[in-house]
Amino acid sequence: MSEILKARINLSKITFRRMKEEDINSVLEIERALFSLYKDAWNYKHFLFEIEEHEFSISIVAEYKGELIAYAVCWAMFEEFHIANIGVTAKYQRMGLAEYLMKYLERELVTDEENMILEVRTGNIPAIRLYEKVGFKVFFERKNFYSNGENAYVMIKLLKDGVWSKSTVSI
């Protein structure tokens, strides 16, 4: 089925740009649909803070045929490029968009950082597989990281030779 769906999106027609305040309502629609289940969806103020106040934050949206269909919020802090939030609207999932977005983030936005890092629910198999596909590995598990008590894997993609390279966990 995914091959049929994949034919419906032309990744070269995707435009990435910085998130603006006017985008927040569209982003929230996607965010709520994706994360309400976990009861920890970000709200308007969270996104506004990222855009207007958080000095290390870079928020990106993806547009296709005039529609906002994906987003990512990243924190470029010290030696780390942290993916804080990423989502693709259900209609366009499993078409290669998140992979394309992750590669865009690494290619266009990572500067001097030594690694890319993120937390992911240990039960979020689609996201874990995505991150593995673009080169992340599980380094360790954080207990009770999420508000519902779920654990997080901390996944890292080393961009330079790192001392942690022997301590990855296979899952």
Ligand X SMILES: CC(C)(COP(=O)(O)OP(=O)(O)OC[C@H]1O[C@@H](n2cnc3c(N)ncnc32)[C@H](O)[C@@H]1OP(=O)(O)O)[C@@H](O)C(=O)NCCC(=O)NCCS
Binding to ligand X, residues 14-43 (CB under 6 A) = 34
> Per CB under 6 A, does 2 bind ligand X?
yes
Which stretches within 7-144 are classed as H helix? 24-35, 44-52, 97-104, 125-133
For residue 156, give every residue at least 6 positions away whose Cβ sits within 8 Å of its Cβ, in sequence order, or none: 115, 116, 117, 136, 137, 139, 164
Among 16, 41, 96, 104, binds ligand X (CB under 6 A): 96
> Per CB under 6 A, does 13 bind ligand X?
no
Among 8, 13, 129, 143, binds ligand X (CB under 6 A): 129
Nearest to ligand X by Cβ — which residue?
98
Kindly tell me which of 34 and 48 has the beta carbon lying closer to ligand X. 34
> Per CB under 6 A, does 62 bind ligand X?
no
Cβ neighbour number for residue 124 with a 10 Å cutoff: 15
Kindly tell me which of 74 and 130 has the beta carbon lying closer to ligand X. 130
Structure tokens at 96: 């290669």
